[in-house]
A and B are shown apart, each in its own frame.
Chain A
Amino acid sequence: DAGVIQSPRHEVTEMGQEVTLRCKPISGHNSLFWYRQTMMRGLELLIYFNNNVPIDDSGMPEDRFSAKMPNASFSTLKIQPSEPRDSAVYFCASSLRYTQYFGPGTRLTVL
């Protein structure tokens, strides 16, 4: 199995632009998680889905962030409009039961 796939791996954009991060979970996994990691705050859960349904989005910072999971093999995290404080590494993880498998992350820089 290829593991969790995220794209792009690096994204540099300007303030105000829309950013879309993509994630393909491991086939057969029924839960998907989006995390953000910064030096100041460490790892934080943004949102997670179970069987494609959003279960807990309390970690989503504000309305500029949205996440979708249209099917079991694909999820997106969108930031619109982006701001410099959104600069971070965004990880996607998937799991079947308890162990979460992390993707390589997307390093986002908002100038």
Chain B
Amino acid sequence: KNEVEQSPQNLTAQEGEFITINCSYSVGISALHWLQQHPGGGIVSLFMLSSGKKKHGRLIATINIQEKHSSLHITASHPRDSAVYICAVDSNYGGSQGNLIFGKGTKLSVKP
């Protein structure tokens, strides 16, 4: 069983729809990251969170430490949001960064 599981694997949405991508993990973590990989292959860090909720523009990330679950929400989705969204957990304690364990990613396609 993978230590980081994402769902769904693939997601197709119509422009304007509200989108949710889920991430569950089985290890203790110090932080969880959401990454976006563009169709061209570049990877961008969207969020790093260890508790609660963070918002950046139309993107919202939440985490529930007790349930070992995080969600990434996209409001008013747009075709330019089409990308692979990757969840990664940092299992190093003490606040130090280090070894990220990645989910397999969720491929999002937003149709106009």
Binding site for B on A (CB under 8 A): 31, 33, 42-45, 48, 50, 55-56, 59, 89, 91, 93, 95, 97-102, 104-105, 107
Contacts and interface: CB of A to CB of B under 8 A. Distances in A.
A101 to B, nearest CB: 7
* Shortest 3 CB-CB contacts between residues of A and residues of B: A102-B43, A43-B102, A98-B48
B44 interface: yes
Contacts of B72: none
Contact of B98 (A55, A89, A102): A55
Q: Is the interface of A mostly helix, strand, loop or mixed?
A: strand
A98 B97 contact: yes
A99 to B, nearest CB: 5
Contacts of A95: 97
Contacts, number: 49
- Which one of A43, A48, A95, A107 has the highest number of Cβ atoms from chain B below 10 Å of its Cβ? A43
- Which one of B41, B97, B102 has the highest number of Cβ atoms from chain A below 10 Å of its Cβ? B97
B75 to A, nearest CB: 23
Interface residues of B, number: 21
A97 B41 contact: no
Interface of B: 31, 33, 35, 41-45, 48, 86, 88, 90, 97-105
Contact of B44 (A44, A102, A107): A102
Contact of B45 (A42, A45, A89, A102): A102
A42 B33 contact: no
Given A31-B97, A42-B104, A56-B98, A102 B48 contact: no
14 contacts: A31-B97, A33-B100, A42-B86, A43-B102, A45-B100, A55-B98, A56-B98, A59-B99, A95-B97, A99-B45, A101-B45, A102-B42, A104-B41, A107-B41
